[in-house]
Structure 1
């Protein structure tokens, strides 16, 4: 169940961050409510995850997945372009998360 909670935390954080751009500096109520609610949900579930997964590992997975997904949303929803350096950097972050999950003894499987 821990991994489901981590997936919920990641999803909520990605939704909150995507909505954050739409808040226009917290001047638009709807996106502001979505953003703040998303962050509350994300941190709640991340706190639950931290009961069983070490903080460094959980945060690395959470942040790595979040970076990749938010970059993808920025590309698709907001039309933001990624240059080669950005793509390489994001790829390295995702590769790091994969290595942590598949090779590290720090992650309980």
Structure 2
């Protein structure tokens, strides 16, 4: 399996999420992919995230991995939007994040029951 064989699965998933959240959150800095350095950093973040994700799905059901990656990623990006970019906190946004987290947990639990 190579160099990542001894890296704990959930650490790789956490790093994949961190890389994806960093890339997505930094996308505004690319100004529509017109700024080279931020664009390269965003693309590298996505490449790292997907590379790690490809390793994780070799060990854990793809549905569970994707639910966690998407759910945690969406909630984290929404939080970054509020904290870093000053986006509004609305009841709908908070409710959406709660539903994302609940859906992620439900899917993860359902997939583990298989």
TM-score, normalised relative to structure 1: 0.88
Q: Which has the larger radius of gyration?
A: 2
Return 5+ residue gaps in structure 1 as ranges.
none
Return 5+ residue gaps in structure 2 as ranges.
1-7
Q: 1:9 aligns with which of 13, 16, 19?
A: 16
Q: CA RMSD in A?
A: 1.6
**Pair 1:47 & 2:74 matched:** no
**Pair 1:36 & 2:43 matched:** yes
**Distance across 2 between alignment mates of 1:107 and 1:30:** 41
State the Cα deviation string for residues 20-49 of structure 1 (Å, max 9, x = none): 111010111221111000000000000000
TM-score, normalised relative to structure 2: 0.85
Q: Secondary structure at the match of 1:106?
A: helix
- Runs of 4+ off more than 6 Å: none
What's the offset of the Cα at 1:99?
A: 3.8
